[in-house]
Amino acid sequence: MSDTVSRRSSATTRLWRLGAAATALAIALLTPAPVQAVEPRQPTLVRTDAGWIRGETTTEGRQFLGIPYAQPPVGDLRWTEPRSTRPWHGVREAREFGNRCVQTASWDPGYEQPSHTEDCLDLNVYVPEGRGSRGARPVMVWLHGGGLTAGAGEDIVPDTFARRTGAVVVTVNYRLGAMGFLATTDLDAESRDGVSGNFGMLDQQAALRWVRANIGRFGGDPGRVTIAGESAGGRSVCNQMASPTSKGLFHAGIVQSGAYGDCAARTQDTAVAQGKAFMAKLDCADMACLRAKPAAEILAAQAGLNWGPVIGGDFLPEQPAALYAKGAAARVPVLNGANQDEGRLFAFARFDAVGTPLTAEQYPGVMRTDFGDRALDRYPLSAYPSPTIAYGTAQGDQRFACSALRLTGLLADRGPVYAYEFADRTSSPFASLRDLGTDFDFGATHVNEVQYLFKHFGLETPLNAGQRTLSRQMIDYWGSFIRDGVPRAAGQPAAPADGGKVLTLRTAGQGGNGLSTTVHSEHQCDLWDHL
């Protein structure tokens, strides 16, 4: 389609370019590596700690794609902690996205085929034009969503965001599913962390260490790094903020729809039991057998099992909520929030998307089974346009809205925490849903805010004038937070650092941005906080 920005390549080509010109090689051999935040003599040629890379210039600035931050986790390195990248000679082309980590096909644009490629520990760097106003630029590191089983750093193209905010933006791939979160007693014995199952989280930390060592060479400030993410990416931020081993790697955090389940991780016993079930599917009794299995078989066997981080080791000694409660969390500013109608996406996927919309007759039984009688009383069908939306409202309130508000309360004494709610119910559904051609009313559902900040899946979002204004305001809020630790937008209400207030984000036609003291009651959190 005409508005598509390639997900597998730069804006100018889809072909992988190999090698380097002799002149570039001469520069690589003769020019010393910069050690401070400077603008390079040749803007698209940068020396990292592993070697020279060449990116390209776009209409928004510069971009460097597919940069390895760790060795490929293949062969004997499968299910080990990430290892430092080996240096290379000459100039490495950085104009194509790297491989996506192992995952199934999905309904997202560009994900029509599964990925079986394990050589995927790459990141992408987007640099706006010109120098930062105070020399080195602030940095945002984006951790993608996808339930820790899907997605890639290329899911957003933040070049316009980088230009408008003046920030250097880094997007990261990390291991997913069984490849990223398998736990077994054999792996426990091998792990320096003390427990296994945190490989994907340790990948994220390796990427942050790469940023600390290298981002100055792209004009970024390693002393002003914000980690950010949506959904599983936001949950990753929540986990990293609680992790003792991540301290010093970032200076602020943005959690978008990521506090679900109170950011909880699996216990070691649960994770090892799931690992045994996984091994049984593959008829394996030891790691040698597992490491010999093709990625396609690993991917098939991981279906139906829960994948995510594990507590009990150095990465997460306890559950994040417990670590927050005892004051162990990183003392950094946090921007944290959720969307008004998070659950509509999940309710649609469960019922309408498979051709079985929830009926009025089914509604009471499903609500009682999933949430209990008290929830059924709080969400009477008569108050909603359809049973699916009624169910989705309860699910969104329970899983996302109230969890986000609880996280805000837990973080309140660790540093300033700014709460927001994306509440634009007029927005077009994000690209994966637009392509379905459904007339289902998604409202301000899960993921929908991402397209207001970035080119989601590399696509331009079809926003009307009011929505474009809201998009600019949101970018201003996020950019101000990345630069200064305080979210502000010209002419708009300041985001509150008061846990009793929430910044609500709406188009002017729907009342505009404002401060609310009723979000907790609107989402029935007095019910969900005690269930």
Residues 6 or more apart whose Cβ sits within 8 Å of residue 29: none
471 given a catalytic annotation: no
H-run or E-run covering 186: helix 185-190
Could you say which of 9, 118, 196, 446 is catalytic? 446
Could you say which of 231, 236, 386, 403 is catalytic? 231
* Alpha carbons 39 and 225: distance in angstroms, whole number: 19
DSSP of 388-455: HHHHHHHHHIIIIIHHHHHHHHHHTTTS-EEEEEE--TTSPPPHHHHTTT------S-TTTTHHHHSE
With contact defined as beta carbons under 8 Å apart, do 216 and 37 qualify? yes
DSSP code, position 351: T
With contact defined as beta carbons under 8 Å apart, do 176 and 150 qualify? yes
For 520, counting Cβ atoms within 10 Å of its Cβ (0-12 exposed, 13-18 middle, 19+ buried), the class is buried
144 given a catalytic annotation: no
Residues 6 or more apart whose Cβ sits within 8 Å of residue 84: 50, 70, 71
Query: Given its phi and psi angles, is residue 101 left (phi above 0), alpha (psi -120 to 50 degrees) or beta?
Result: beta
Inter-axis angle of helices 387-396 and 343-350, nearest 10 = 130
* Alpha carbons 211 and 220: distance in angstroms, whole number: 9
342 given a catalytic annotation: yes
Phi/psi of residue 418, each to 5°? -110, 125
* Residue located via tokens 């630069």: 483
With contact defined as beta carbons under 8 Å apart, do 502 and 379 qualify? no
- In total, the chain counts a number of residues equal to 531
Could you say which of 230, 342, 421, 449 is catalytic? 342
Q: How many helices (H) and strands (E) does the chain have?
A: 20, 16
* Alpha carbons 430 and 120: distance in angstroms, whole number: 26
* Residue located via tokens 């009926």: 359
Active-site residue set: 231, 342, 446
